[in-house]
Amino acid sequence: MKLYTILFGVLLLLTSCSSKSYVKLVDNSVERYIEVSKINKRRINDGLIEIQIIGENKTDKYRSFRYRVTWEDKDGFEVPSLSSKWTDFPAYKNAEFRINVIAPNTKATEYQIYIDKKEK
């Protein structure tokens, strides 16, 4: 029984330390059109974080979407950034798309990416 208690405690500790970074599809209907398959993350030479979102337009039509990225520091406070404004991007029919974003400064450690349909 002690072993189960210890394992549960370790599991709880690991899940509480997990990253707060994620991709959020703002409008649920966006899931019908695109799929985010991978997120790459790296530190570039000057210490900034670079992220790359890789996705695919699953339809036979060209679609326009928009994204925004919010950044947080290690304490969970938002780090102001130009990437927090909505930016349009194309998703060509049955094709992969990539979105590259670089953190505004070295204090930015976590990110949230929001993807939505482009406003008409």
Q: What is the pLDDT of residues 48-89, one digit of tens each?
A: 999 999 999 999 999 999 999 999 999 999 999 988 999 999
C-alpha closest to that of 57 among 115, 30, 96 = 96
- DSSP string covering 18-75, please? S---EEEESSGGGGGTEEEEEEEEEE-TTS-EEEEEEEEE-SSS-EEEEEEEEEE-TT
Half-sphere exposure of 110 (CA within 13 A, CB side): 14
- Is residue 11 assigned to a domain? no
Mean pLDDT of 25-32: 86
Structure tokens at 1: 């029984």
Examine residue 75 and state whether it is found in any structural domain, yes or no.
Answer: yes
Per-residue pLDDT for 112 more than 90?
A: yes
Per-residue pLDDT band for 19 (boundaries 50, 70, 90) equals low
pLDDT at 15 over 70: no
70 domain-assigned: yes
111, exposed or middle or buried, with CB in 10 Å at 0-12, 13-18, 19+? Answer: buried
Of 15-19, 84-88, 92-96, the least confident:
15-19
The CATH number of the domain where 109 resides is what? Answer: 2.60.40.3230
Domain count of the chain?
A: 1
Q: Is residue 9 part of a domain?
A: no
Q: Give the domain extent around 79.
A: 20-117
Residues 86, 100: Cα–Cα separation, whole Å: 14
For 19, the token pair is 């990253």
